[in-house]
């Protein structure tokens, strides 16, 4: 057993002992539970204590109990995988996704508990955002497991045996998030100015000892030539990025590796980024491989030779037996990942429905000058904090979807020709809880037709998004919308589901599709002012000023 988990079980035993001793003369109800979405459930799982207990005490206890429940659920998944060898391929795939996600939940909950257990009843804004982000991701991971099981042909008994603990865990995680948000999350001071606050410098690299041990493309050779002596990341003033080590991938065998997967395997484990990024330079070529950046492969910087020059491609799809979660050509969960100048593709085609090009569940991740190409479900912004700058995203149905806190800035969303009878929805955001700090923010982007749609021979209704989950949240700010956007702007998911609980907003957009006079009349739809829109800028929504400068990618912190 990992030493961290041994520490957890020791703390858990001590905490339960203290709680049982303090609850001998407990009052009949727990008033703190009124802060949560499930007050009755909260009272059933959090024991009443004496009157001195407060939201912080219960917040710590609920996170601890969540960690225990996550451990129990992970063991349950292992048992099902062992005792049901006759499951369908898709049933096994869904369970394996659940196991992967439950393991992440254990990590996130352990980190969260260590933070809240060692902190006073106050926390710096960025530290509180870290914990709120992790607790938000735990709910997202649990919902993803549930969605995968529901979409498979698993036996009813399997679904029934797993759905009950899944439902209970979801409520417990929601209680933990609510209590943490009530106790530790303060309202951020929002900037409402109209100027950018981030770095405007070009992306530059500082190599170890100033030496360049291989031949870069002309583009990156120019970048290297512009770099002076090596500087530390902490200076950050010139947008230069420190590189600790580097390897080169080329298909002709002339460099370190011929596959991207082998280069990723060579990267160090659990780097904290203080010594710089591990650089994987992928030379021009079409790489037909499925790449996964694991949770212990942190602070990797992957650079290609440019969009449509370095291409990573695959063709997995839901129709061909993959779960949506595992259909991705490229997936990443390793913290601090940065990709530059790469095209990511899923070539399954519109006929295969869900087929993901990239699934991103990496905190503090950035994609700069990249292209994402598929049809339905192109880019899965699954969880945690993400930033996309000057990227191209191609798709049809729900082609940007998930429940990260994700910001797209200066990007192009290209609307492709869907199957006959389908409509286009740019986004399908998956927020399931009102306390999650997640959403999709689209800022200074362009939404227009790709070449195949422009040449299409039938009319296609196109919408900015639709509510995948109950508290779906998407904001378009200062973006250009072409004439293809339907006057209603937004589309239902299923009847009146989430029309009142979602948050959809538009702020100072441009172009023929930006006219808001005919938009939907849902109570969840808003035309917002600068004060409200400032909540969804890079500086405020992602707290990007705290982490984006170290990766050297240009960004605008406020409005343009």
Which helix (H) or strand (E) covers residue 246, if one does? strand 240-249
Pairing of strands 277-282, 240-249: parallel
CB 380 within 8 A of CB 354: no
Residues 6+ apart with CB under 8 A from 519: 487, 488, 489, 490, 506, 525, 527
User: Which neighbouring-strand residues pair with 372?
Assistant: 344, 393
How far is 536 from 539, CA to CA, in rounded Å? 8
What does R_g of the chain's alpha carbons equal in angstroms? 24
Report the helix count and the strand count for the chain, using DSSP H and E.
11, 27
Q: What residues have CB less than 8 Å from 264, skipping those under 6 apart?
A: 280, 291, 292, 293, 297, 300
CB 292 within 8 A of CB 331: yes
Specify whether 482 is catalytic. no
Which residue is catalytic, options 398, 451, 452, 515? 398
Long-range own/partner contacts, residues 204-212 (CB < 8 A, 24 or more apart): 204/238, 204/239, 204/240, 204/241, 204/552, 205/240, 205/241, 205/243, 205/279, 205/552, 206/230, 206/231, 206/240, 206/241, 206/242, 206/243, 206/276, 207/243, 207/246, 208/243, 208/244, 208/245, 208/246, 208/276
Query: Which are the catalytic amino acids?
Result: 398
């Amino acid at each position: 057993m990992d030493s961290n988990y041994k520490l957890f079980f020791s703390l858990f035993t001590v905490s339960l002992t203290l709680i049982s001793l303090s609850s001998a003369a407990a009052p009949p109800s727990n008033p703190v539970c009124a802060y949560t979405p499930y007050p009755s459930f909260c009272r059933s799982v959090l024991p009443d204590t004496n009157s001195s207990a407060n939201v912080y005490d219960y917040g710590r206890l609920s996170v601890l109990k969540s960690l225990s429940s996550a451990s129990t659920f992970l063991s349950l998944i292992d048992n099902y995988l062992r005792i049901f060898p006759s499951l369908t391929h898709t049933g096994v795939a869904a369970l394996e996704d659940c196991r992967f996600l439950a393991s992440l939940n254990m990590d996130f909950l352990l980190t969260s508990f260590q933070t809240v257990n060692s902190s006073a009843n106050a926390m710096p804004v960025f530290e509180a955002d870290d914990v709120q982000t992790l607790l938000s991701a735990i709910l997202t991971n649990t919902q993803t497991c549930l969605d995968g099981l529901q979409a498979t042909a698993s036996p009813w008994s399997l679904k029934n045996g797993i759905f009950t603990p899944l439902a209970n865990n979801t409520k417990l995680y929601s209680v933990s998030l609510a209590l943490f948000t009530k106790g530790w999350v303060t309202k951020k001071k929002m900037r409402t100015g109209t100027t950018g606050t981030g770095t405007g410098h070009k992306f530059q690299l500082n190599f170890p000892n100033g030496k360049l041990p291989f031949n870069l493309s002309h583009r990156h050779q120019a970048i290297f030539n512009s770099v002076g002596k090596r500087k530390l990341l902490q200076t950050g003033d010139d947008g230069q990025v420190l590189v600790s080590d580097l390897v080169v991938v080329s298909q002709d065998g002339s460099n370190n590796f011929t596959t991207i997967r082998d280069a990723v395997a060579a990267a160090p484990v659990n780097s904290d980024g203080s010594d710089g990024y591990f650089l994987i330079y992928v030379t021009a070529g079409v790489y037909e491989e499925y790449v996964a950046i694991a949770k212990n492969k942190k602070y990797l910087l992957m650079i290609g030779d440019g969009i449509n020059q370095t291409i990573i491609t695959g063709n997995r799809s839901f129709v061909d037996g993959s779960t949506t979660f595992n259909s991705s050509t490229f997936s990443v969960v390793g913290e601090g990942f940065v990709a530059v100048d790469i095209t990511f593709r899923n070539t399954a085609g519109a006929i295969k429905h869900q087929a993901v090009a990239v699934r991103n569940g990496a905190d503090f991740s950035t994609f700069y000058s990249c292209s994402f190409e598929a049809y339905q479900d192109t880019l899965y912004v699954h969880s945690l904090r993400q930033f996309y700058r000057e990227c191209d995203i191609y798709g049809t149905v729900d082609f940007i979807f998930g429940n990260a806190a994700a910001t797209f800035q200066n990007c192009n969303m290209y609307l492709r020709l869907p199957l006959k009878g389908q409509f286009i929805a740019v986004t399908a955001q998956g927020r399931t809880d009102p306390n999650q700090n997640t959403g999709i923010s689209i800022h200074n982007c362009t939404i227009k037709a790709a070449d195949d749609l422009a040449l299409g021979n039938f009319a296609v209704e196109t919408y900015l998004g639709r509510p995948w989950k109950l508290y779906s949240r998407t904001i378009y700010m200062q973006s250009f919308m072409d004439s293809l956007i339907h006057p209603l702007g937004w589309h239902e998911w299923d009847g009146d589901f989430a029309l009142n609980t979602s948050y959809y907003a538009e702020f100072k957009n441009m172009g023929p599709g930006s006219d808001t006079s005919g938009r939907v009349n849902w109570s969840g739809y808003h035309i917002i002012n600068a004060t409200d829109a400032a909540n969804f800028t890079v500086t405020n929504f992602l707290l990007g000023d705290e982490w984006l400068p170290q990766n050297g990618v240009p960004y605008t912190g406020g409005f343009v």
